[in-house]
Amino acid sequence: MSDTIRRPDTDGPTAPVVDLDKERAVRLAPLPDLPADPAGELPLVPDWTRTAGGRTAARRRAARRAKRAGRRWISRQRTDRGHAAQIGRGMRRTHEWVVGFHGVHVQAAAHQAHTATQDARAAARRARYTFMPGQREKARQAADLAQTQAMAAVQAHEQARKKVRRGRIGRGAVAYGTPLLVDTVALVEFGGVGLAGGVFATLSVAAWIGRKPLTAETWDPERRSLGDGDRLDEPMLNRAFLDAKILTQGQELTLRSPVAMDGTDAYVARIQLPGAVTVDKVRAREVELAAALGIDRAQLDLRQAGGEGDLILWASMRDPFARTVRSPLLDRREPLNTWRDGIPLAFDKRGQIVTVTISDYSLLFGGATRSGKGMGVANVLAGALLDPRVNVRLFDGKGTGEYVPYAPVLATFVRRNPARLRDFLRVMVGEMNRRTEILVELGLSKLSEDLIDKVGGIELVVVDELATYTAPEGPSKEYAEEIVEYLAQLAAVGAAVGIVLVLATQYPEVAIVPSRLRGNCSGRMAMRTENADASNTILGKGMAGNGFDSSKIANSKGTRGRGWLTTPDTGMIAARSLFIDESSGENRTVIAIGTELRRAAGTLPGHGTDPVEDALLRYTGASSVAGGRNGNGGIVRGTVLDHLVTAAGNRGSLTSSEAFTVLARVSPDRYARTEGESDAAWASRAGKALKAQLAALGVDLDTSKVTGPDGGRANGYTLAALQQAAEDARNARV
Ligand SMILES: Nc1ncnc2c1ncn2[C@@H]1O[C@H](COP(=O)(O)OP(=O)(O)OP(=O)(O)O)[C@@H](O)[C@H]1O
């Protein structure tokens, strides 16, 4: 675990209270923008660099740069850019210069002298053996001419040789004599140290002469990159933008302010892009730009500051997601306004807390096993529990004990029960319609904060492991289609009336999360997935191709909770969920605080009216408030009296025929009217069945005259009589 995680302060009222706004402000402080300078320009030396922390950071950077320079020097020695290779090359080049190319002239002159001499000899021989009186004279003249030419050629050769020798001696004297002289003088003047210095200087000059290899090569030791610990500067930025094909040859960016460090080991540069290059274009090539700077994409953040070409580039020297950030809610003791402030869910590259606005959209989490979906849900739950106006209803498809500690604060909690989810969603869609009608009457299209109490609070429906419920070929296939339909309807319009879904799945496949359902959840987070298709199932078609691919997140402990998050507020961003350490009971602290806040507000499950659970009880005859009797996610079937009490609750009484209709829904085999059965026959049969059930409960309940729904008087039961009978039944059980 990272050292950035602080232990929670779990103890009671003396524990410090953390204001979420302040907390967020502190986290935002490092640098959404460069600090303003009173002089109008951005400061060359930010204040923080003059603090002890700033100096330590500077020392650390200098040490890192020195280390990297050393490493680069060593690896360079093995290549032909190494110093030995440079010196050898320098000496060779010097020698070639001393020898020069003039030797070619000497050779050509030698060749000419040689042929001219041969010609002269042949001409002399011919003159000697020509006896014809007219020819002899001619031959003698030709021999004289050839001899003259031969002598001239030999002389030219001699001169060329002398000239070359003179040139070589001169150049040799410069090339070899100078260092020899310098070294000798140094030796004479300063002894061995002087000689060593002289030799060093000589070799340095040779290395300088041979600094460039003859052939082009791929590794360029002059290349500066952030990944190697070099400073971010304008030449590096220009080269990286060029390499990333954002700029073309001849285009140059300009810095609007000096490159600064932001106190988190990251560089910030405000850049003016040239011509028609926009910030969007730069963002589209984020991966290439990061590669050109020698860092990972997660270490680079690109934001538009002002106009189209006004870019703020933030480049971190380390992976911003390598650390964990603890949820600020863990230190909170007072209620959270989730409707207005949202719920802190994750942190982004620059350490800013990302909140999700449950007043606006539903959420979908997807990712492979152990990728951190549960932590995403835990963050949302932590926020919801701190807002007593939120009724949390949780359907756990995994069926493990993960959510059992939350049971006392869950208005509804059911483990692995697809039929129950189907029934619940039916009721919830009815609730959505009821709320919509209230808004229609008020002439509103969306719930506002002042109406939350009027409509019955915010409904947060969590379904963890969708596959249990929506797999068309799974064990719950008979419910799957209906469940998907209801979920899609709720996700589409629920948020506007205060009904929000939080869905999670380990199997991000289209069969489990149909695109209609995905599309209606505007907040989506894809943690590490097995493949690009799975990532697209959460984030949307083609997203992996656009560079947002969760399957590229490495599978390691350090990447848990990392993913791509998209919400209408943030757009697509890289993020890591906030950390709640369940192993040390941090979630239990939130649950305890949530329980207290709910008790104070009178919204603790089972302690007030809950129209949704009441409707479910009427409809199914079973209750799932707070995870049932043991809080482990089971459902509790009520007695006939419980159902009748719930049904009589609205009007204060119930006619017999209304009572039989309610019971027919709960227990159709006993109370449902059969084909062709008359009213009287049904009433008599159902009356007997009820009497028998009441007898089994140990109570006797007589009918009395009550007011029916139409205002007329009929046989039935008053609420008071039913409540008394239910009480007697409980006492009889005890
Ligand atoms: N943001 C985070 N920071 C640090 N650790 C995290 C983060 N998110 C998850 N983890 C750790 O990763 C592990 C798996 O997390 P979690 O149970 O949420 O994953 P999951 O995808 O829900 O797993 P499963 O598929 O088993 O349900 C846990 O030990 C958790 O503490």
CATH code, domain carrying 654? 1.10.10
Q: Establish whether residue 347 lines the binding site of ligand 1, counting it when its CB lies within 6 angstroms of any ligand atom.
A: no
Q: Which of the given ranges, 68-72, 472-476, 687-691, has the highest pLDDT on average? A: 687-691
pLDDT on residue 9: 40
pLDDT on residue 45: 61
pLDDT tier, 552 (very low <50, low <70, confident <90, very high otherwise): very high
What average pLDDT score do residues 307-317 get?
90
| % of the chain beyond a pLDDT of 90 | 45
Question: Under a CB-based contact definition with an 8 Å cutoff, are residues 517 and 491 in contact?
Answer: yes
Q: Establish whether residue 344 lines the binding site of ligand 1, counting it when its CB lies within 6 angstroms of any ligand atom.
A: no
pLDDT tier, 559 (very low <50, low <70, confident <90, very high otherwise): very high
Distance 375 CA to ligand 1 centre (A): 5
Q: Establish whether residue 355 lines the binding site of ligand 1, counting it when its CB lies within 6 angstroms of any ligand atom.
A: no
In a shared domain, residues 310 and 269:
yes
In a shared domain, residues 312 and 357:
no
φ, ψ (nearest 5 deg) of residue 664: -65, -35
What average pLDDT score do residues 390-398 get?
94
Distance 265 CA to ligand 1 centre (A): 28
In a shared domain, residues 529 and 498:
yes
Q: How far apart are CA 350 and CA 336, in angstroms?
A: 24
Nearest CA to ligand 1 atom 26: 370
pLDDT on residue 223: 65
Please indicate if the annotation marks 197 as binding a ligand. no
What average pLDDT score do residues 585-603 get?
91
pLDDT tier, 574 (very low <50, low <70, confident <90, very high otherwise): very high
In a shared domain, residues 203 and 226:
no
- Domain edge (last residue) among 292, 316, 340: 316
Say if the ipTM goes beyond 0.90.
yes
Q: What angle do CA 535, 540, 546 make, to 5 degrees?
A: 80
Residue closest to 461 by CA, chosen among 514, 403, 415, 503: 503
pLDDT tier, 229 (very low <50, low <70, confident <90, very high otherwise): confident
What average pLDDT score do residues 638-651 get?
83
pLDDT tier, 221 (very low <50, low <70, confident <90, very high otherwise): low
Distance 514 CA to ligand 1 centre (A): 25
Nearest CA to ligand 1 atom 5: 560
SS3 assignment, position 716 = strand
Q: How far apart are CA 117 and CA 122, in angstroms?
A: 9
Please indicate if the annotation marks 186 as binding a ligand. no
pLDDT tier, 18 (very low <50, low <70, confident <90, very high otherwise): very low
Q: Which residues of 640-651 are buried (b: 16+ CB within 10 A; e: fewer)?
A: bbbbbbbbbeee
Task: Please name the amino acid found at residue 19.
Answer: D
In a shared domain, residues 363 and 280:
no
In a shared domain, residues 467 and 591:
yes
Instruction: Please report, to the nearest 10 degrees, the dihedral formed by the alpha carbons of residues 257, 247, 563, 504 taken in order.
Output: 120
pLDDT on residue 6: 40
In ligand 1, the atom with minimum distance to the C-alpha of 582 is 31
DSSP secondary structure string for all residues of 619-648: HHSEE-GGGTTTTSS--EEPPHHHHHHHHH
Please indicate if the annotation marks 676 as binding a ligand. no
Q: Establish whether residue 374 lines the binding site of ligand 1, counting it when its CB lies within 6 angstroms of any ligand atom.
A: yes
Q: Which domain holds residue 642?
A: 638-733
In ligand 1, the atom with minimum distance to the C-alpha of 562 is 1
Distance 532 CA to ligand 1 centre (A): 21
Position 215 pLDDT exceeds 60: no
In a shared domain, residues 411 and 490:
yes
Calculate the average pLDDT of the chain: 85
Please indicate if the annotation marks 372 as binding a ligand. yes
In a shared domain, residues 460 and 591:
yes
Per-residue tokens: 654: 């119930």
| % of the chain beyond a pLDDT of 70 | 91
Question: Under a CB-based contact definition with an 8 Å cutoff, are residues 646 and 734 in contact?
Answer: no
Residue 617 falls inside a structural domain: no
What average pLDDT score do residues 659-667 get?
85
Please indicate if the annotation marks 371 as binding a ligand. yes
Query: Worst-scoring range by mean pLDDT, 466-475, 532-541, 660-669?
Result: 660-669
pLDDT tier, 28 (very low <50, low <70, confident <90, very high otherwise): very low
pLDDT on residue 485: 94
Count structural domains, the chain. 4
Position 235 pLDDT exceeds 50: yes
Q: Establish whether residue 577 lines the binding site of ligand 1, counting it when its CB lies within 6 angstroms of any ligand atom.
A: yes
> Measured between alpha carbons, how far is residue 205 from residues 179, 182, 198 in Å?
10, 13, 11
Q: Establish whether residue 550 lines the binding site of ligand 1, counting it when its CB lies within 6 angstroms of any ligand atom.
A: no
Full-prediction pTM beyond 0.80? no
In a shared domain, residues 341 and 285:
no
Q: What angle do CA 574, 490, 454 make, to 5 degrees?
A: 105
> Measured between alpha carbons, how far is residue 392 from residues 220, 396, 456, 489, 520 in Å?
60, 12, 13, 19, 20
Please indicate if the annotation marks 349 as binding a ligand. no
Instruction: Please report, to the nearest 10 degrees, the dihedral formed by the alpha carbons of residues 235, 237, 243, 247 taken in order.
Output: -100
Per-residue tokens: 93: 């080049």
pLDDT tier, 214 (very low <50, low <70, confident <90, very high otherwise): low
pLDDT on residue 591: 94
In a shared domain, residues 192 and 240:
no
Strand partners, 255: 271
Query: Worst-scoring range by mean pLDDT, 204-208, 224-228, 293-297, 448-452?
Result: 224-228
